[in-house]
Chains A and B, each alone.
Chain A
Amino acid sequence: MTSLLIRRVLLMVPTLWVIATLTFFMIHAAPGGPFQSEREIPEAAKQQLNAKYGLDRPLGEQYVSFLIHAVRFDFGPSYKFPARQVREIILEALPVSAELAGWALLLALVFGVPFGVLAAVKQNQRLDYAAMGAALAGVSVPNFVLGPALVLGLSLTLFLFPPALWQGPMSRVLPVATLATAYVAYIARLTRAGMLEVLRQDYIRTARAKGLSERAVVFKHALKLGILPVVSYLGPAAARVVMGSIVIETIFSVPGLGRYLVNAAFNRDYTLVMGEVLFYATMLMVLNLIIDVAYTRLDPRVEAA
């Protein structure tokens, strides 16, 4: 177990280095730079700005200096928001994104797993069709359709929730619901598929033959294995929910991480792009590692090697 952890953590280093290097040279290769605008910036000012941020040095030198600082999670100030450090921006936006993601994932599990189990147990019955039909709709409706539809119905017509912004518990409802829907649906489908697979296996037959109640068979024996696909899906899902809710953050004006990522790339805000990309990559890898560890706990057949 420990050796697995150590090996995986060590493997993260070269992976991060490759990601950092590719991103660094790609963003610098994009046309333009951080100090350009529709209104011309005077040449003298441009030179001053470039000198101030070290952009006048050779790219290789900038790269080395970036790597040295990145190791300490220090990316310097954002070019677009020069009064703020990139680290500061990320750490300030992270709790918001994490909260949004946390609620959405919780909702996804709380509704997705039971629906999936129910559908599997009642396979090819009316309940199964209803649950899977709803899940198919949930997966298919994109969040940029669902979000405005919810706003129109629940906020602008029924006045139940504020249409956007991140203030007070009521403002969480619509963004969380919009973000969670697709995950509820996907987890329900994954659970159903996993459970169907497991319910046909010999040890389940054995459990039933022993005279265990159906409830015990399903929840004690089948669910433990049937949920594995969901567990492995949770890692990337968690990372995607934290950083990838760009659409939700825009529709609902949530001050999270996702909004920065897209705009930073458009603005050629090199430092902010690097900070966000590396942070996202690290998070993705750490979450996957956690999931792998959890896997070995849930399924004894998976070797902790």
Chain B
Amino acid sequence: MRSAGCRGLLYCLRVMRTSLVFFFAALAFGGCAPARQASLEPASARARYFGDTTPPAENVLTFNLGAEPEMFDPSVAVGQPDGRVCRILFEGLTREDPRTLEPLPGQAYRWDITPDGLTYTFHLRPHLTWSDGRPITADDFRWSWLRVLRPETASRYAGLIFPIVNAEAYNKGMIHDERLVGIEATDDSTLTVRLAAPTAYFLYLTQFYTCLPVPRWAIEKHGNRWTRPENIVCNGPFRLAWWRQNDHFEFVRNPRYWDAAHVKLDRIMAYPVEDLNTSTNLYKAGVFDWNPSGYIPSQFIPYLRDYADFRHGNYQGIYFYSINVTRKPLDNPWVRRALNYAVDREAIANDLLKRSRDPWGNFTPSGYPGYTHPPAITFDPAKARECLARAGYPGGKGFPKISILFNTSEDHRRIAEAIQAMWKRELSIDVELSNQEWGSYLQATSALQYDVARRSWIGDYLDPNTFLACYVTGDGNNRTGWSNPRYDALIRSAAVELDAEKRLAILRDAEALLLEEGPVIPIYHYSTNELVKPYVRGIYQTPLDIHPLTYVWIDRQWQHRASEPPVATAIPARARREHGR
């Protein structure tokens, strides 16, 4: 998960610069369709593009990675840049459909699931090889997944594969025999996974970067230096040709990838540019072909809406305020309800954030197939005042001063100020603002040293569970002190429910309970805002902001095609036939 907007380098610098660049940009945007594009006519005659639209001479994709990855060893990778690099270099049993992110056959060409949903048998494609020519076997997957679970690996995402039999016990050091863990390589090309409970989203996990296979011999030989360009062995569509920290990554096509014949890009260049203005400049100048979501200054977004290469869509993330229920008066649910109803989400998203985000009164984001949300929390000042009165503070009388904590950032401050004013106006209560730099802020939220704190949560897989499971009693991501036995029971029963519809209904009840009890104040729904050059084909807007680059290609005839031609290779017909049972 990306810590939304936290990596501000020199806070005050950015504030000043952003406003300045914004001013310059406003001047420049008016006449900004560059001269070099003037000769292009047909299909795209009326579309305006942001900056240069000359395709690169070679089949190369250049994009902003956003930040230097902490580690791109899949078993221990954590952040979004780490994941992007892992997905270029490695391929799991399944892989994401570039449009829908549904699992497609990857290294496994088919799989069987027993009717009780507890046993998955994956069949690997024949003749798979690592980039150094060694064959890929089912045991490579078994070893890689056990490596994630091994306590000494200290993988932060190990919890993702806890649905596997005994995985949690093994990870926590309660059992030491790896044969007891439900991962078994029946033969060279068959991997059998046994789950402790039917896990509806398990296939999604097999494409997540934590579950990517890693080369055992390279790791045993080089230790944690195995990811260096001279040592790394991979199995994905590209391999690592060059890397210098904070400079760039260069990936080249991996000829040993099973579907290398359909990989059209020869190279991918990824730059870790942290500054949002710089990233957008590089896109405008035509250096970057793709400026992924999160790397455009939020003030630019209203201006960029008119350009044909700007894409806006839903992102599975929620910006919310977390309430520390261990402190008075916030331990009273009526107080929390009052605070919740007194927040005008529309005003924040539409006026303050200029519609770059969508107001949101639920805790799970939109777009989960088959899931219907419980009624959202709406702005209702009368109800808010009533709740506060029921809590024993009619008209805000006697309400102690509370404070809103946020990590230092201009956007967070503006929102906190707006909410401070709303609570003052609607509830007549006094709130103070307190900001801390990132490290201190994290410490304060996880140690429950706050009253109300800004937080955000980004989904890992396409299921409401990725949000709701955080609020079970004692979960490390709960960070509110809130505990509700009925809620815990609902989440537990959803985990073992086989019927998809019933399961989602249980989760819906859980979300309704969470909103009713109010340890969280949802504020807005995250959006993806990205810039993609019109000649780049195969990058789609997706709800998890995950973009498989395997079949991306450079279309030099882009202006003669009205829209993207059907990409035969994106979902190989062969793979489609082999899919499933």
Contacts and interface: CB of A to CB of B under 8 A. Distances in A.
- Interface size band for A: 35 or more
Contacts of A92: 244-245
Interface string B430-459: 000000111110111010000000011000
Interface in A189-234: none
A262 to B, nearest CB: 6
B224 A39 contact: no
Interface string B443-481: 110100000000110000000000000000001110100
B70 A80 contact: yes
Given A39-B1, A83-B73, A144-B13, A157 B24 contact: no
A121 interface: no
A98 interface: no
Interface stretch (B15-23, B197-205, B554-562): B15-23
Given A83-B224, A255-B246, 14 more contacts: A30-B440, A31-B439, A32-B439, A32-B442, A40-B475, A40-B476, A43-B476, A84-B245, A89-B245, A152-B21, A247-B13, A253-B272, A255-B247, A263-B7
B227 interface: yes
Interface string A263-297: 10011100000000000000000000000000000
Interface stretch (B111-119, B275-283, B512-520): B275-283
Contacts of B576: none
B8 to A, nearest CB: 9
A166 B278 CA distance: 13
B278 A252 contact: yes
15 contacts: A37-B3, A38-B6, A40-B479, A44-B173, A45-B155, A46-B154, A144-B13, A145-B17, A155-B285, A163-B285, A164-B282, A166-B247, A246-B9, A253-B278, A259-B9
A155 B244 CA distance: 25
A123 interface: no
Contacts of A84: 245
B275 A268 contact: no
A260 B246 contact: yes
Given A45-B154, A156-B281, A40 B71 contact: no
A49 B154 contact: yes
A268 B442 CA distance: 12
B88 interface: no
B282 A144 contact: no
A262 B274 CA distance: 13
A35 to B, nearest CB: 9
Contacts of A152: 21, 24-25, 28
A267 B278 contact: no
B580 to A, nearest CB: 32
A36 B24 contact: no
B10 interface: yes
Given A164-B282, A253-B271, A262-B9, A148 B171 contact: no
B154 A156 contact: no
B225 to A, nearest CB: 6
B10 A250 contact: yes
Interface string B234-245: 000000000011
Interface string B163-182: 00000000111000000000
B411 to A, nearest CB: 16
A144 B158 contact: no
Given A44-B151, A45-B156, A84-B245, A163 B439 contact: no
A165 interface: yes
B501 interface: no
A156 B285 contact: yes
A262 B10 contact: yes
A251 interface: yes
Contacts of B436: 31
A4 interface: no
B285 A268 contact: no
A36 B443 contact: yes
A36 B436 CA distance: 15
B476 A82 contact: no
A42 B159 contact: yes
Contact of B440 (A32, A48, A89, A144): A32
B273 interface: yes
B228 A83 contact: yes
Contact of A30 (B159, B278, B439): B439
Contact of B438 (A93, A165, A266): A266
Given A42-B476, A84-B245, A255-B244, A156 B443 contact: no
Contacts of A267: 438-439
A43 B318 CA distance: 25
Contacts of A82: 70-71, 224
A81 B70 contact: yes
B423 to A, nearest CB: 25
B154 A37 contact: no
A164 B154 CA distance: 37
A25 interface: no
A81 B273 contact: no
A115 to B, nearest CB: 27
A159 interface: yes
A246 B274 CA distance: 12
B68 interface: yes
Contacts of B351: none
A52 B285 contact: no
Interface string B497-524: 0000000000000000000000000000
Interface string A43-62: 11110110010000000000
Contacts of B245: 81, 84, 89, 92-93, 255
B151 A247 contact: no
B539 interface: no
Given A148-B24, A267-B439, A81 B68 contact: yes
Interface in B33-64: 51
Contacts of B275: 250-251, 253
Nearest to A49: B154
Contacts of A151: 281
Contacts of A246: 9-10
Interface centre among B28, B155, B227, B287 (most CB of A within 10 A): B287
A245 to B, nearest CB: 12
B9 A148 contact: no
A48 B151 contact: yes
Contacts of A155: 281, 285
Contacts of A266: 7, 437-439
A77 B70 CA distance: 12
Nearest to B277: A148
Contacts of A236: none
Contacts of B173: 44
A32 B439 CA distance: 6
* Closest A-B pairs by Cβ, 8 of them: A40-B476, A32-B443, A48-B154, A32-B439, A255-B246, A255-B247, A163-B281, A31-B440
A161 B529 CA distance: 27
A250 B225 contact: no
A164 B475 contact: no
Interface in B276-325: 277-278, 281-282, 284-285, 287
Given A45-B155, A253-B275, A266-B439, A165 B282 contact: yes
Contacts of B9: 246, 250, 259, 262-263
B443 A31 contact: yes
Interface centre among B6, B73, B173, B282 (most CB of A within 10 A): B282
Contacts of B429: none
Contact of A250 (B156, B172, B227, B274): B274
Nearest to B231: A83
B136 interface: no
A259 B67 CA distance: 11
A68 interface: no
A52 B443 contact: no
A30 to B, nearest CB: 6
B476 A144 contact: no
